[in-house]
Structure 1
Amino acid sequence: MGDAQAVAPFEAISHSNIDFTVDLYKGLANEPGNLFLSPLSIQVVLALVYFGAKGDTAKELERGLHLPSDKQLTDNGINALMHRLNGSQNVLLDIANKIYLRNGSEIKKEFRQTADRFLAGVEQINFAESEQSRKTINDWIESKTHGKIEDMIGKGTLDASTLMVLVNAIYFKGEWLKIFYEDETKPTPFHLPSGATEDVDMMYVEDRFLYADVTELNSQALMLPYKDWRLNMMILLPKEVNGLQDLERNLDKFDPAKVVKGMTKSKVFVYLPRFKMEYSKALKDTLITLGIESMFNPAKANFSGIVDGDYAVSQVLHKAFIEVNERGTEAAAATVLIAPGSSAPQFPPPTPVIFKADHPFMFFIVDDITRTILFAGRLVKPSA
């Protein structure tokens, strides 16, 4: 995989992943509270649908997902990415995609081949037995996310008219390369958007980390590596206590690769809250605002590359879970789909740096090699 040929598809997918992450995050950021999702998970499941779509449905997906116009490049890029991510050492990273198709529909051979290349399985199911099919899919998601995501599909979501459900589950568990000092965790006030504070279990570690002062985002950026070196949590901490909204407004200027380029190894005193969050969201409305709309409209949807007949997607469901503690991170997400950048500072920061995450911040879990964002979120209220 190390040859030059493998790099181009990765690069194409990496760019589309970052652009899609920013769009999706901005689309969801208007609602108050914590936010946590797997942009990669959502993008892969929608890209799979894109390969079975034709006409406007395909054009909208290509634009909305920021995919290259060369379909082969997208296919190669996602195929390479799935294999590369599934091969992580020292961290648990399970990515699983499956298509559930209504009994009696014949899936097209080329689409089946694409699903194989995306490491996706295909299974026929009787949606008319809605409780049984719901249980089958929920059990599969639960097992793939190591029990972290339960009851993904709610009662009454499936019925005899459901044609197809696309499921993507992603589970991540990683230990920090530098674990936080367990006996140093102590209650510390965390500033809430309302102006009030609440006590949070604040973890502490001091060590040499990659760090940058990102002036155009008015933020500090820190990389906390996991044990395998290639997965990192990147934290963007606004310099102002209430600076998160400004940071989110300027997210279009965020380019993880450029931020990383501007980082230098520095001695950093890191204060980070221990936190846990579960986030679930029906994404249909958000995707429509991103221009992906005809696939939801029975009069306009065109999925003739998957099956014959007139079918539309009824909903895209996403649920994600993350837990961050002294030892590391456990994160899981599942997506169910029912049928110019910053310039780096030129000077290393003075050492030591104090990085105190005692107010709302953004964080990403990024893969260093493929430059993709597996998870993105913000912590606004640790106790939520």
Structure 2
Amino acid sequence: MISRICFVLFLAPCVLGNGDPIDPETLHNVFGYPQYNTAASNVATTTLSQVLPVQPVNSTLTDPDYWDVDELPSAAVADYDKFDWVLTKRVASNSNVNFLISPLGLKLALAILAEAATGLTRSELSSVLGFEVDRHAVRRKFSTIVESLQKKSPQYILNLGSRIYVEDSAQPRQRFAAIAQQFYQTELTSINFHNPQAAAASINAWVSNTTQGKINNLVDPDDISNMVVMILNTIYFKGTWRHQFDPNSTKEGVFYTTPNQRKPVQFMRVKDKFYYAESTKFDAKILRMSYIGNKYAMYVIVPNSLTGLNMVMEGLSTLRPEMDSLHERLVDVTMPKYKFDYSSELDAVLRELGVRQAFEDTASFPGIARGQTLAQRLRVSRVLQRSGIDVNELGSVAYTATEIALANKFGEDNESSVEVIANKPFFFFIQDEATRQLLFTGRVSDPSIVDGAFKH
């Protein structure tokens, strides 16, 4: 599978806003962060999973290819992915077409942006993202996420890159630069945005390199001619299925794009042991397909009826508990090969979710723009993600580039098996099992479509 995503956020001059303090309980309800403590911090060194029931009932039958015996997953101590599900649900509600986004890519970029913000601007970002009031706790949590993603292994490739391009004439605070480097592994790089041709070429070369050539033209000279700062992060993932599909078994079949419309597509098939659950609440099947190394996995939710995906998407925020019933068994999987590109403009979505002040002339980002004069202030003017995915018999490749740009305002055995047949629209996500972070979320409505866009 191949997937790619790019996120663009533009900022322009603004004024300091003073908001009322946010109730910690409200923040907890929005994002679910617990108070950070020593016990929680130890989680960074252990392997976490999203659910307890993925452990075989008989511990002597533990499959070491899924989990090491001494590192059996336990229930996560923090449910801090609510923003990811809300974002996914909102993007999905705009249409019924294929889509692919990187909640983690957007969240990392916004987290760095929040570090530079003050007043109401920061309060809104923190509330929507679900951050704790304690900045140190948030930083430690993201440091853990970044550290998890940067772990190297010969069994998979996960490249996480993060960089902040700063106009030569701008002088971000050293404190902000230090925080970006220490907790987000993000380096500040000077660049001459007044030479947009050269700047665009330099930025695109870095993005292309970090995404293995999957994203080649993230920006053009017109995009960055009036920029002051651009925050970029990229994620490139390449994994091989633990249970690969036999290419010789791939054959044409019918995919129902709607109850009355169907298309011929190539279907892959594999029969092996997977973690699986039948959800009565969603009237759907949940399948966990791990990659070699078991640090990452794709989850596929296939409704039982041709029109059942809407119910799944509407209830995404309550999907996690349904995964408590995952258990290992023999599953006969039939899934279409699919490959598509997707672009999404997310500024309006963020406004609807509550990030409003950041888009106004009264926004405040003193960590990046020193001083409080109108000429020195910034506001968000655009948020964009570009993505792509390619799923085949051998595995998956996923890649994402997230950009935040700041510009001035002028600018087999005998065991019985079950079947999972994905011959109708279905939902999927790729997850880092250690931190439960959603690298990618998406919907396949038509495997034959290769391009899509979301604008709102």
Counterpart of 2:251? 186
List gaps (5 residues or longer) in structure 1.
340-349
| Distance of 1:373 and 1:92 partners within structure 2 | 16
One-letter amino acid of the counterpart of residue 380, structure 2: V
May I ask how many residue pairs the two structures share in their alignment? 368
Counterpart of 1:33? 97
| Distance of 1:42 and 1:97 partners within structure 2 | 12
1:123 corresponds, among 169, 176, 189, to 189
One-letter amino acid of the counterpart of residue 5, structure 1: S
1:383 corresponds, among 425, 439, 448, to 448
Counterpart of 1:176? 241
Counterpart of 1:346? none
1:151 Cα shift?
A: 0.9
- Call closer, same or farther: CA 1:14–1:42 in 2, change over 3 Å: farther
Counterpart of 2:315? 250
- Call closer, same or farther: CA 1:296–1:192 in 2, change over 3 Å: same
Q: Indicate if the aligned counterparts of 1:192 and 1:380 stay in contact, CA closer than 8 A.
A: yes
- 1:89-108 Cα offsets, whole Å, 9 max, x none, are 21111111111111111111
SS at match of 2:188: strand
1:311 corresponds, among 347, 353, 378, to 378
| Distance of 2:199 and 2:368 partners within structure 1 | 21
SS at match of 2:349: helix
1:12 Cα shift?
A: 9.3
Q: Indicate if the aligned counterparts of 1:224 and 1:232 stay in contact, CA closer than 8 A.
A: yes
1:140 Cα shift?
A: 0.9
| Distance of 2:438 and 2:429 partners within structure 1 | 7
SS at match of 2:224: coil
| Distance of 2:222 and 2:42 partners within structure 1 | 44
- Call closer, same or farther: CA 1:147–1:266 in 2, change over 3 Å: same
Q: Indicate if the aligned counterparts of 1:277 and 1:323 stay in contact, CA closer than 8 A.
A: yes
| Distance of 2:440 and 2:272 partners within structure 1 | 25
**TM-score between the two structures when normalised by the length of structure 2:** 0.77
- 1:220-247 Cα offsets, whole Å, 9 max, x none, are 0000010011211000111111211121
SS at match of 1:216: coil
Counterpart of 1:20? 83
| Distance of 1:105 and 1:12 partners within structure 2 | 42
Counterpart of 1:323? 390
- Call closer, same or farther: CA 1:100–1:64 in 2, change over 3 Å: same
| Distance of 1:111 and 1:100 partners within structure 2 | 13
One-letter amino acid of the counterpart of residue 179, structure 2: T
Q: Give the percent of matched residue pairs that are identical in Structure 1 and Structure 2.
A: 29
1:142 corresponds, among 201, 208, 211, to 208
Q: Using the TM superposition, name which of 226-235 and 20-29 deviates more.
A: 20-29
SS at match of 1:163: strand
**Is 2:336 the counterpart of 1:273?**
yes
1:14 Cα shift?
A: 5.9
- Call closer, same or farther: CA 1:128–1:193 in 2, change over 3 Å: farther
2:123 corresponds, among 44, 54, 59, to 59
Q: Indicate if the aligned counterparts of 2:170 and 2:369 stay in contact, CA closer than 8 A.
A: yes
Q: Using the TM superposition, name which of 320-329 and 303-312 deviates more.
A: 303-312
Alignment of 1:203-214 (within 5 A): 203-214=268-279
1:206 Cα shift?
A: 0.1
1:133 Cα shift?
A: 1.2
**Is 2:38 the counterpart of 1:6?**
no
| Distance of 2:77 and 2:385 partners within structure 1 | 21
1:148 Cα shift?
A: 0.5
| Distance of 2:76 and 2:380 partners within structure 1 | 27
One-letter amino acid of the counterpart of residue 307, structure 1: A
SS at match of 2:288: strand
1:291 Cα shift?
A: 0.9
RMSD between superposed Cα atoms in Å = 2.0
One-letter amino acid of the counterpart of residue 320, structure 1: S
Q: Indicate if the aligned counterparts of 2:259 and 2:306 stay in contact, CA closer than 8 A.
A: no
1:7 Cα shift?
A: 2.4
One-letter amino acid of the counterpart of residue 284, structure 1: D
List gaps (5 residues or longer) in structure 2.
1-37, 49-74, 371-375, 407-414, 450-456
| Distance of 1:97 and 1:205 partners within structure 2 | 37
Counterpart of 1:114? 179
Counterpart of 1:344? none
Counterpart of 1:334? 401
Q: Indicate if the aligned counterparts of 1:223 and 1:233 stay in contact, CA closer than 8 A.
A: yes
Counterpart of 2:301? 236
1:338 Cα shift?
A: 1.6
One-letter amino acid of the counterpart of residue 217, structure 2: D
- Call closer, same or farther: CA 1:315–1:81 in 2, change over 3 Å: same
1:359 Cα shift?
A: 0.5
SS at match of 1:313: coil
* Greater Rg by CA: 2
- Call closer, same or farther: CA 1:62–1:221 in 2, change over 3 Å: same
1:195 Cα shift?
A: 2.5
- Call closer, same or farther: CA 1:14–1:113 in 2, change over 3 Å: farther
| Distance of 1:236 and 1:287 partners within structure 2 | 26
**TM-score between the two structures when normalised by the length of structure 1:** 0.91
Ranked by relative contact order (alpha carbons within 8 Å, sequence separation 6 or more), the top structure is 2
SS at match of 1:307: coil
